Amino acid sequence: MTDKTKKAKIAVIGSTGSIGLSALDVIREHKDRFEIVALAAGSNAEVLKQQINEFNPRFAALSDETAAMNLKKSVSGVEIRAGEDGVASLCEIDDVDIVLVSVVGIAGLAPALKTLRAGKRLALATKEVLVAAGQLIIDETKKYNAEILPVDSEHCAIFQCMQAAGALKSKSVERLILTASGGPFLGKSFDELKNITPKEALAHPTWNMGSKISIDSATLMNKGLEVIEARWLFDIPPEQIDVVVHPQSIVHSLVDFCDGAAIAQMSNPDMRMPILYAFTFPERAPLQMPPLDLAAIGKLTFSKPDYKVFPCLDLAYVALKEGGIVPAVLNASNEIAVQKFLDGEIGFLEISSYIEKKMEKCDNINNPTLEDVISADKWARNEL
C-alpha cells in the first residue's frame, strides 16, 4: 500500500495452514499496516475460533459445513459462512484489498477467480491454481485489471529480480532458474527410494510445510508445478525455465538476462518475507528475522536435478509442453497419488507411475474453458 496512513484490509483463505499461520505472524508484527477482514479454513474450527478471538474479523468461513455450523454457535460478532461457496464469497467483500489464497490443491481455484474478478490483489500461495488453469487465470487478471503477487519463495524471488532489473515486461530475460532444496532424498539412488515411508518423506530438511507439499518436495513434483506456474506468471516459454538443486535454500531463484548478467534473490529461508512483500508491494516493510550471514553459511552449492530418480519433475515439463487440460490432469492425479502414498496404498516410487498412467489416458482439449478444466480435474480423480 502506498498510503501508509491507511491499513491494507486482508482476507486470509487458508488461515490454519502453514502459510496462513505465517501470514498471521506478519500481520501481528505490522498491526499498524494491516487489518484482517476475513478468515477462512477447511475444517479446523478450533484453530479458526482462536484466530477469530485474536483478530476480530468481521467474516469467517469453513468449507466443512458441519464445522461451520458448530463454529457459528461458539462465536459472536462475526458472520460465519459455510461451504466452498461461502469460503470463496469472502474474496468478493468490498472492504477487502488483498486476498491471500493459501489452500491446498484445486480448492484454491474458486477463491482465486473470485478475487481477480473483484479486481483485487491476489497474493497467491496455491500454485495448483496456475498449474490447472494458467491461461484462464492470466486472462481474468487482465480482463478485470487485477494483479497477482506470487507468495512462493521462488516466484517471489524471480519477481524481485525482474523488478530490480526493470525487466518485468521486457524481452531481455534469457532464462529463469528455479532453485530446489532437493528434499529429504537428495543424493539417493532410485533403488534406495523403493521402501521409503511417509514419515521419511515428510521430513523436509529446510521448510516446515503441510503433508501434501512436503511429499511434493520429496518427489520434486513441487518444483515441477512451480515450473508451470512460472511459465504463466512471467510469460516465459518452458524451454527457458530451468531447475537447479540448492540444498542450503539461500538463493531462492535467479534470472539470466540477454547480456550475460544474472540476478539472484537471497535470504534466510522464511516464508514470512514473500508474504510481507506480496502485502506491501511496491514498498518494503521491516521484518524481525536474522540478517543473512554468508560468512557463517560458508558455502553455497548447486547441482542438476536427477530426472531418472525424480521423474515427477520431467512429467511436469511434459504436461506443460502438451498444454490444454493435461496440466490439470497432472495436478489432480498427483494429489490422489500423494494421498494414496500417505495412506499406505502405494509406494513412494509408484507416485510418478500413477500420474504418468493418468496423463497417458487423457484425451487432451486445447484452449480449455473453466468447465473443461474442472471436468478434467474430476476425471483425473477417478480410479485407474
pLDDT at 2 > cutoff 50 = no
Tell me, yes or no, whether 117 and 175 share the same domain.
no
Non-local CB neighbours of 275 within 8 Å, separated by 6+ positions: 19, 22, 23, 26, 100, 123, 125, 151
pLDDT of 35: 97
Tell me the per-residue pLDDT of 361-384, one tens digit each, with 9 for 90 and over.
999 999 999 999 999 999 999 876
pLDDT at 5 > cutoff 80 = no
**Are the CB atoms for 173 and 236 separated by under 8 Å?**
yes
Rounded to an integer, what is the distance from CA 121 to the centroid of its chain?
A: 15
Which of 118, 150, 182 is the last residue before a domain boundary? 150
Tell me, yes or no, whether 47 and 165 share the same domain.
no
Alpha-helical segments (H) within the chain: 18-29, 45-55, 65-74, 83-89, 109-117, 128-143, 153-165, 198-201, 211-219, 221-234, 272-280, 294-297, 311-322, 326-342, 350-361, 370-380
**Are the CB atoms for 165 and 139 separated by under 8 Å?**
no
**Are the CB atoms for 176 and 230 separated by under 8 Å?**
yes
Q: What percent of the chain has pLDDT over 90?
A: 90
Cα–Cα distance for residue pair 103/64, rounded to 1 Å = 13
Cα–Cα distance for residue pair 61/83, rounded to 1 Å = 8
Domain containing 168 — which CATH number? 1.10.1740.10
Average of per-residue pLDDT across 68-92: 96
285 part of a folded domain: no
Tell me, yes or no, whether 88 and 182 share the same domain.
no
Which of 104, 119, 150 is the last residue before a domain boundary? 150
- Residue 1 — very low, low, confident or very high, per pLDDT cuts 50/70/90? very low
Measured CA angle at 230 (ends 323, 321), to 5 deg: 25
Tell me, yes or no, whether 77 and 200 share the same domain.
no
**What H or E segment, with its residue span, contains residue 34?**
strand 34-41
Tell me, yes or no, whether 164 and 240 share the same domain.
yes
Tell me, yes or no, whether 136 and 162 share the same domain.
no
**Are the CB atoms for 151 and 125 separated by under 8 Å?**
yes
pLDDT of 169: 61
15 part of a folded domain: yes
Please state the pTM of the whole predicted model: 0.92
Tell me, yes or no, whether 146 and 164 share the same domain.
no
- What one-character-per-residue DSSP string does 129-158 give? HHHHHHHHHHHHHHHTT-EEEE-SHHHHHH
Cα–Cα distance for residue pair 351/337, rounded to 1 Å = 5
78 part of a folded domain: yes
Residue bearing the bigger pLDDT, 2 or 357: 357
Tell me, yes or no, whether 62 and 194 share the same domain.
no
Q: What nine digits make up the cell of 167?
A: 525487466
Q: What nine digits make up the cell of 290?
A: 536474522
Average of per-residue pLDDT across 203-208: 70
What are the Cα distances from residue 195, in Å, to 201, 345, 346, 368? 11, 13, 11, 39
Cα–Cα distance for residue pair 227/302, rounded to 1 Å = 18
- Residue 104 — very low, low, confident or very high, per pLDDT cuts 50/70/90? confident
Cα–Cα distance for residue pair 246/60, rounded to 1 Å = 39
pLDDT of 166: 80
Comparing CA positions, the residue from 29, 71, 33, 32 lying closest to residue 51 is 71
Tell me the per-residue pLDDT of 273-284, one tens digit each, with 9 for 90 and over.
999 999 999 999
Domain count, the chain: 2
Tell me the per-residue pLDDT of 221-253, one tens digit each, with 9 for 90 and over.
999 999 999 999 999 999 999 999 999 999 999
Which of 116, 150, 184 is the last residue before a domain boundary? 150
Q: What are phi and psi of 100, to 5 degrees?
A: -90, 115
Containing domain of residue 328, as a range? 158-266+308-380
Tell me the per-residue pLDDT of 112-139, one tens digit each, with 9 for 90 and over.
999 999 999 999 999 989 999 999 999 9
